[in-house]
Structure 1
Amino acid sequence: MRNLRPEESMVPQGWDNSENRHHESPYDMGQNRVNHPVLLRVGKRSVDIAAALFFFIAFGWVFVLIGLCVAVSSGAPVFYSQPRYGKDGRVFRFWKFRSMTANSAQVLEEHLKNNPEARRQWDEYQKLENDPRITPFGKFIRKTSLDELPQFWNVLIGEMSLIGPRPCMLEQKSLYGHDWSHYCAVRPGITGLWQVSGRNQLTYNARVALDVRYVETLSVVKDVDIFIKTIWVVALGHGSR
């Protein structure tokens, strides 16, 4: 397993994780404290498989077209992958279309060093309003969330779900404390409550609170509601950076 990119492994300032790191609960090891009915879990997984198969059959050509555009506009590699935590604390490889320059780590380091406002923004949101690492075509696929399409493969093979919390980066696990068990209780999602509630305009603390609420109140009705809202959010480009 390769190392995380420096820009992807940084943790936001303002998260005091020293106590969590030395006082782990049983849930930090991946044990769940949230249990959902078997019927709900089976139904959710069935919908995930059907949705992923439908995507590849109906929109496989879009997948290929975007891959070609990435290759032509910024060269190889076409995909970007990163290890993330999934259900039960298992690590899986998370896929996206590459939207950043090949030397993104160096670009970010130099940009944050010379721009105090960018540093403040990065520390609070782990995102930048005007990110110098993103390629011109990368801006388009991020704005439209098309860079997320490869995650339908993660859904098909059971590593992710259509709806769920965003999968956690390996080096940020200790930041979640007792909330970590909620992330172990379900498969991470392509979209979720965070994405339709402000997305990158929210702080990291707010994102975790929304993820926890989603897991504790999981239902078919709420998943349908999030899915419908996702279409609206993507169409308008709300909260994307």
Structure 2
Amino acid sequence: MGTFKQGRYSGYLRPISYAIDLSIINGLALMFFFPIVHPLLYISLVSSIWIILSLYSNFYEVYRFTREVTIMSLLLKQAVLFTLIVFAYFGFRHHLNIKTSIVLSYVGSVFGLITLAKFTIFYLLQKYRASFGGNVRNTVIIGRSRQTSALSTFFTKNPEYGYSLKKVFSLKDKNQVALEACFHFIKVNKIDEIYCSIAELSNNQILQVVSFADNNLKILKFLPDNKEIYTKKLKYEYYDFIPILSLRNIPLQEDVNLFFKRLFDIAFSVLIIVFILSWLTPILAIIIKLESKGPVFFKQSRNGFNYKEFQCYKFRSMTPNTKANMYQATKGDLRVTKVGKFIRKTSIDELPQFYNVFFGDMSVVGPRPHMVSHTHMYAKRIDKFMVRHFVKPGITGLAQVSGFRGEVETDKDIINRVKYDIFYIENWSILLDIKIIFQTMLNALKGEDKAY
């Protein structure tokens, strides 16, 4: 995957695991079947099916807290599915006369080596964390209870899992000052994950912790007990035998969803680049240059996934000016050129962002990225604004097709935009993306009041 949340799961380990396993599958196929079997056909077909099977069986969903028995279960399930696929392949191509014993020897060898590779990586990572302190997540626990005591012991006695417990906070007196001190500690010590005992916090304090975690891009997890927490889509995980609740289950943090969204983004952006931008860009370049001096493209630093800055591209719609990176266009803005009015009204100025999509900085659909100065401002003023950065920003989004695009005239505009963005993040699907794209095209054809 192109981008990833630091420490949440490694952005390199998963592709490396795929590469190792596919090398084993195809390398052994060369030894067992070729030259009888056409190599290109087998490798392309079986590799594609392996990736699809892995995504749906969660074969590579192995985390630092995953138990060996779970890994063995994943291996067994994948072995059964893969065996069926290989037999189906040679069943359709029965004229090759590959013996059943050879197929079984091949599958057995594949999973013997894959099992060895998977556990080698798993134990090497544990050794790396325990002996060298690498790949570590800094954590704090809020609240003292039997459950938090067990979790604290788990973190301390199992350094191989890569959790560094920095502090346990007790809030028995429900003291607001103590909670503020906790937040300050989390910021200063660059804490990655917050674990809360629900029973030890008042309802108001829980809301404050939730708000703090959202606005500071911290992963928040709860230790369940008899007290209810009113939220949706809570997700269970187990650290050893300790149940942990994750507050927000984001569909695009699942590999299978991320894979299909990225596949869709690449396919869609290539279509736009090849069939529209290839001929439209030179035409617009001439028109833009004839009307005013300056570059054809306008680029601007914006905050994207995980708050990382990237260069967002547009067709230049204004005369070059020093305030372009500080102020949004307003109605009747004198900086906007004649051609700029047209391309802004029809959203044509946004088309170069498909290059951003192709290179992985953006998605076709997602929360719209703001210029850096505005992001800093809204992060301080607007509750949960930072939640938008849990996923890649988009060229269009649910907020934009729901009437909240363009200039932010009042705080109400940005508050509603954040609400729609969070709804999108928590309820993402490919069908929702397609619906938003069609609505965006309809709005572009009709023209929008706030597209100026």
CA shift for structure 1 position 183: 1.8
In structure 1, the residue matched to 2:331 is: 129
Task: Trace 1:10-49 onto structure 2 (pairs within 5 A).
Answer: 25-31=212-218, 34-36=249-251, 37-49=254-266
- Provide the rounded CA distance (Å) in 1 between the counterparts of 2:368 and 2:266: 19
CA shift for structure 1 position 190: 0.4
- Provide the rounded CA distance (Å) in 2 between the counterparts of 1:168 and 1:99: 17
Letter in 2 for 1:200: G
Report the secondary structure of 1:54's partner residue. Answer: helix
- Is contact 1:34–1:185 with CA below 8 Å preserved after alignment? no
CA shift for structure 1 position 64: 2.3
- Is contact 1:192–1:226 with CA below 8 Å preserved after alignment? yes
Letter in 2 for 1:35: I
Task: Trace 1:1-241 onto structure 2 (pairs within 5 A).
Answer: 25-31=212-218, 34-36=249-251, 37-59=254-276, 60-103=278-321, 105=323, 127-174=329-376, 175-176=378-379, 179-198=384-403, 199-200=405-406, 203-238=413-448, 239-241=450-452
Instruction: Please say which of residues 35-44 and 22-31 is displaced more in the overlay.
Output: 22-31
- Provide the rounded CA distance (Å) in 2 between the counterparts of 1:52 and 1:223: 14
Report the secondary structure of 2:262's partner residue. Answer: helix
- Provide the rounded CA distance (Å) in 2 between the counterparts of 1:225 and 1:31: 31
CA shift for structure 1 position 157: 0.3
CA shift for structure 1 position 86: 0.8
Report the secondary structure of 2:399's partner residue. Answer: coil
- Provide the rounded CA distance (Å) in 2 between the counterparts of 1:154 and 1:212: 22
CA shift for structure 1 position 31: 4.3
CA shift for structure 1 position 134: 0.5
Percent of aligned positions that are identical: 36
5+ residue gaps in structure 2? 1-182, 188-211, 220-247
- Is contact 1:31–1:184 with CA below 8 Å preserved after alignment? no
- Is contact 2:250–2:425 with CA below 8 Å preserved after alignment? no
- Provide the rounded CA distance (Å) in 2 between the counterparts of 1:28 and 1:169: 17
- Provide the rounded CA distance (Å) in 1 between the counterparts of 2:293 and 2:348: 18
Instruction: Please say which of residues 82-91 and 171-180 is displaced more in the overlay.
Output: 171-180
Report the secondary structure of 2:301's partner residue. Answer: strand
- Is contact 1:141–1:147 with CA below 8 Å preserved after alignment? yes
Change (3 A) 1:57 1:51: same
Letter in 1 for 2:263: S
- Provide the rounded CA distance (Å) in 1 between the counterparts of 2:368 and 2:330: 18
Letter in 2 for 1:194: A
- Provide the rounded CA distance (Å) in 2 between the counterparts of 1:58 and 1:170: 32
- Is contact 2:362–2:392 with CA below 8 Å preserved after alignment? yes
- Is contact 1:48–1:162 with CA below 8 Å preserved after alignment? yes
CA shift for structure 1 position 128: 2.0
- Provide the rounded CA distance (Å) in 1 between the counterparts of 2:344 and 2:259: 31
Provide, for residues 188-212 of structure 1, a one-character-per-residue CA deviation record: whole Å limited to 9, x for no partner.
0001112211123772222222212
Change (3 A) 1:164 1:85: same
| Aligned-residue RMSD, C-alpha | 2.6
Larger Rg: 2
CA shift for structure 1 position 176: 3.1
Provide, for residues 12-44 of structure 1, a one-character-per-residue CA deviation record: whole Å limited to 9, x for no partner.
xxxxxxxxxx97735555446553222111101
Poorly superposed stretches of 4+, deviation over 6 Å: none
CA shift for structure 1 position 154: 0.3
- Provide the rounded CA distance (Å) in 2 between the counterparts of 1:47 and 1:82: 25
Q: TM-score, normalised by structure 1?
A: 0.76
Q: TM-score, normalised by structure 2?
A: 0.42
CA shift for structure 1 position 236: 0.4
In structure 1, the residue matched to 2:46 is: none
- Is contact 2:388–2:418 with CA below 8 Å preserved after alignment? no
Letter in 2 for 1:41: L
In the alignment of these two chains, the number of paired residues is: 204
- Provide the rounded CA distance (Å) in 2 between the counterparts of 1:133 and 1:88: 32
- Is contact 2:385–2:418 with CA below 8 Å preserved after alignment? no
CA shift for structure 1 position 169: 2.2
Change (3 A) 1:142 1:68: same
- Is contact 2:318–2:340 with CA below 8 Å preserved after alignment? yes
